[in-house]
Amino acid sequence: MPTSTATAAGVLHVTGARPNFPKAAPVIAALADRGVPQTLVHTGQHYDERMSDVFFRQLGLPEPDVNLGVGSGTHAQQTGSIMTALESLFLEAPPALVVVYGDVNSTLAAALVAAKLHISVAHVEAGLRSFDPTMPEEVNRLVTDRLSDVLLCTSADAVAHLGNEGVHADKIHLVGNPMIDTLLANLDRFDVAAAREQHDLEGAYAVATLHRPANVDSAADAQALVKTLHSVADQLEVVLPLHPRGRAGLEAAGLLEHGGISVVEPLGYVEFLGLVRGATAVVTDSGGVQEETTVLGVPCLTLRPNTERPVTITHGTNRLVTREDLAYAVGEVLAAPDVEHKVPPLWDGQAGPRIADVLVGVL
């Protein structure tokens, strides 16, 4: 059941899933510095301790004023449950502005409810496009951006996409990447030695994070992915913090039959990035990990045919690979692990204050 102590007005932030929290933390802090009244809503889309609670503690986020507790379900069930709960909340205590983050179902649900109630919406991480309509996240991005009044972009390509879609320039703001604010603020806490000790790692190792439907949903895809990961583990140890999504299918496909693969529970923010910081390579289908490895200078091999974050390729350490090419790509990294890269513009640790300045202007 939802728990609420909210009194609304001011800015209401909607978070719901693990990727939202490091994006929201610097925005909330910067608005607090400016004395803006705020309400933090956690929808509970990610609801267990490892997927949400630990992030609030580690990132210094305030305890949510409202926890909707929606839990898991199909896309329709989850989105509908969040919409129903948010509608009651917004009607009871209407905020002046709703801020949503990224591309998860909580983001879409909040934008829909706010738009129908004529409440202004600001979208942090607007304009990203994979141009792959089979991705649920792409649908969420497109609809959220169409409904938003303030579009806060992490990179120049996102600004261009919105312009091409007919969004008025006055709505678009290039502010940088607040998730990188969080990374840079916590950089000294990412302890590679502690990560090696925790996971019993001595030599070179890779970190893998894989959860997207195209990689794990079907038995055939799971088998193909497991075969690929085994070929990577032939070359170096692989640590795989495994999201609940797809775990049973990957294990049924023989994931653990290779002694070079260690499957672990999802890690806290600090522990995960300590592990990533010391990795020789990262294999992922996550959007945020592409950005984090770009700033950390860790080679990133993205197991997808596309990315909504091309700046991590043009400026960073990321490259797209297929399952067939992954083992060869890992071999290339092992042969030449030092990757030349530059950090994208405005990924400087000051996105939160820039976003706060825009939102204060809107208010």
Cα(294)–Cα(316) distance, integer angstroms: 4
The neighbouring-strand residues paired with 66 are 4, 41
Q: Is 173 helix (H, G, I), strand (E, B) or coil?
A: strand
Non-local (6+) Cβ contacts of 346 within 8 A are 154, 174, 175, 176, 177, 354
Cα(146)–Cα(99) distance, integer angstroms: 14
Cα(109)–Cα(93) distance, integer angstroms: 18
Q: Could you tell me the two tokens for 104?
A: 């998860």
Torsion (CA) 201, 205, 210, 215 in degrees, nearest 10: -130
Non-local (6+) Cβ contacts of 250 within 8 A are 216, 222, 225, 226, 242
Q: Could you tell me the two tokens for 264?
A: 């672990």
Is 46 annotated in the active site? no
- Please name the amino acid found at residue 124: V
Q: Is 306 helix (H, G, I), strand (E, B) or coil?
A: coil
**Distance set, CA 122 to CA 58, 99, 168, 205 (Å):** 25, 5, 14, 40
The HSE-up count of residue 64 (CA atoms within 13 Å, CB side) is: 23
Cα(17)–Cα(32) distance, integer angstroms: 22
Residue in 123, 199, 211, 341 annotated catalytic: 211
Which DSSP state fits 61?
Answer: P
Return the closest-CA partner of residue 95 out of 37, 148, 146: 37
Cα(18)–Cα(45) distance, integer angstroms: 9
**Taking CA 184 as the corner, what is the angle to CA 181 and CA 189, rounded to the nearest 5 degrees?**
130
- Residues marked active site are found at 211
